[in-house]
Structure 1
Amino acid sequence: MSISRAIDKLNEMIAGAVSWALLIAVIICTGNALVRYTFNLSSNSWLEIQWYLFAAVFMLAAAHTLKRDEHVRIDVVTSHFSKRTQVWIDLFGYLLFLLPVCLIVIYYGIPFARYSINTAEMSSSAGGLIVWPVKLLVPFGFVLLLLQAFSEIIKRIEFLAGRIDGHEFAKHVTTPEQEIEAIKSANQL
């Protein structure tokens, strides 16, 4: 569990830092739109930096999203199963799907980024930026996702072995009926 906690902490720190990139992207987007419509000026660099920042948020926060158990799931189906069965489904999904996909993207993403770095690749847009930083996000983001997958696997194995109670990895599991009630309550506010 100490390895799992260290991975969780790493991804929490990265997600906290990356959350600022989203704010910066919104500020740049707003400023760029104001300048474009007020002064009829525009720059591809400003558009590309927005894309780069969004890519950073998306790629670097994916592992944190997995840690918080907030990826798209099939809760409508699995909510009818016992907690133990849900954990087995998670474990199966991580081992059979998530780990191989992460490894494949890392395997192909490293040469993809390395080529961009070695050639000092630039955007083909007029006034565009260097491309390698955003391409480097692909393997780096998937390494973080792979690490988080290992953390989640450790937690599920510990749960199945009876050494933890599951609160470390499961957000509150609800039935579809409970979800509907929560939505109705929120709409009444």
Structure 2
Amino acid sequence: MIDILAILSASAAAGIRIGIPLLIIGLLHGGHLWSKVPILSHISPSVLLGFVTVWSLIELVASKKRLGQRVLQIFELLLSPIVGAIMGLAVSSTTIAPTWLIAFIGGLLALVFQLVQVGWFYRLRGLPLWAVFLQDFLCVALVLLAFNAPWPGGLITFILLWLAIRSAKEWYDWYWQYRRQQSKARS
């Protein structure tokens, strides 16, 4: 059960940002960097460290401006399922399930969280600065909790998933209210 919560917590972090969780995992593995992380273990550690560090800095800087948020969303929407799968596999310590299932669940959770962020971005016409800082904090906290305290990390992930479901319902209601107003305006 603890392994499942760790997988969910790490994958949720990948659904918020993609570079920062990979950088933290690489640094937490100490001198081995990404040698135990699937897919990433085949890439030179120095090249990977440079790329992930640069991407993390881009995420931290670009996410504070509206145009930067929009550009980041394109890349993060495409890459979050892959990074979510990698993160899920990286923190799984036992073989509680087949690796393809862990990767699928991790990737799907990361994609859901990324879609919710895109939805809020377009609904609010850009995320407020306090929300961006909250995302950065949650991303780092979820990765650290995946390794050190999976219970709270899993609980935070379930709360975020509940908020994502509530957001989807709000958007659905908002969309149908908008459609009714448009049909009344045409009549």
Q: Which has the larger radius of gyration?
A: 1
Relative contact order higher in (CA < 8 Å, ≥ 6 apart)? 2
**TM-score with structure 2 length normalisation?**
0.35
Q: Which structure has greater helix proportion?
A: 2
**TM-score with structure 1 length normalisation?**
0.34
